[in-house]
Amino acid sequence: MATRVMQQEAQSGWWSHFAAQWRGQKAQERNVKFISYLLLILGSLFVMLPFFWMISTSLKKPGTEFSFPIQWIPRPFHWDNYPLAWTTLPFNTWLVNTLVITLSTIIGHLLSSALVAFGFARIQFPGRDFLFLLVLATLMLPYPSVIIPLFILFKNLGWIDTFRPLIVPAFFATNAFYIFILRQFFRTIPTEMDDAARVDGCSTFGIFRYIALPLIQPALGIIVVFSFMDHWNDFLSPLIYLSSTDKFTLALGLRYYQGQYRVEWTLLMAASLVVLAPCIILFFIAQRYYIQGIVITGLKG
């Protein structure tokens, strides 16, 4: 009887020790998670400070932008800064120009990059891997090093002060990063699907059109997001190739608020926030495709 009681006490003591240790580990994990989330929130707020300042400045009265201490919540809100900033300069014309350039380049990148990436991923031909390495090598070529040759080329073609230098290159798969992303996605598709399609009489382009493209929608979503942000916010290329004010983009138009002696900060921040809004909205809409694409291109292939 005494032996049984001792065994029960030993088992009870072991279980109590295990339960206490388990609760301690759980509490430690919760503390670590809490501290991690707290640091992430504080870091995010610190990174977002310039964005908060831009919103605050866009609603302030002119002349109070740099008052000290900083007035984060303007009193009162000057909502009229937004229509004033948009109507002071021909932003409607610049918006149309930006949309034409951005949407055209998105279509060009989707068509050309998908075709080239499909060829590198699914078609066997001599020198394929070497050519792909050459394409990737262009990523190491800085854009300023090709500005002058491209300008001379487009000038000889008579394309200066037109949208063609900003649109036409997109239809010739000039972005190696997009080709790399799409190739990685194409390589995740089993080759048995190609063989089955060929047995049914499908051509190579048919495989690309009816089988491959529907299966890489996340990658196409990534190309749309990246291409939209690149060309919507592009400042250098329009600055080089466009000279007429009526052909400017939104990025070029924002610089008109920066005078030689004075900067209209309230109007500049209001216009900048309106120009930035489509990028933010598009990112949140296509966030699922963005994350899925980064995971697949980083882990597969």
Q: Which DSSP letter does residue 61 get? A: P
Q: In this model, does residue 64 exceed pLDDT 90?
A: no
Give the pLDDT confidence of 157-200 residue by residue, as tens digits.
999 999 999 999 999 988 899 999 899 888 888 888 888 888 88
Q: What angle do CA 187, 193, 195 make, to 5 degrees?
A: 110
Give the pLDDT confidence of 176-185 residue by residue, as tens digits.
999 998 998 8
Give the separation between CA 183 and CA 253, rounded to whole angstroms: 37
φ/ψ region of 89 (left if φ > 0, alpha if ψ in -120 to 50, else beta) reads beta
Give the separation between CA 52 and CA 140, rounded to whole angstroms: 35
- Proportion of the chain above pLDDT 70, given as a percent: 85
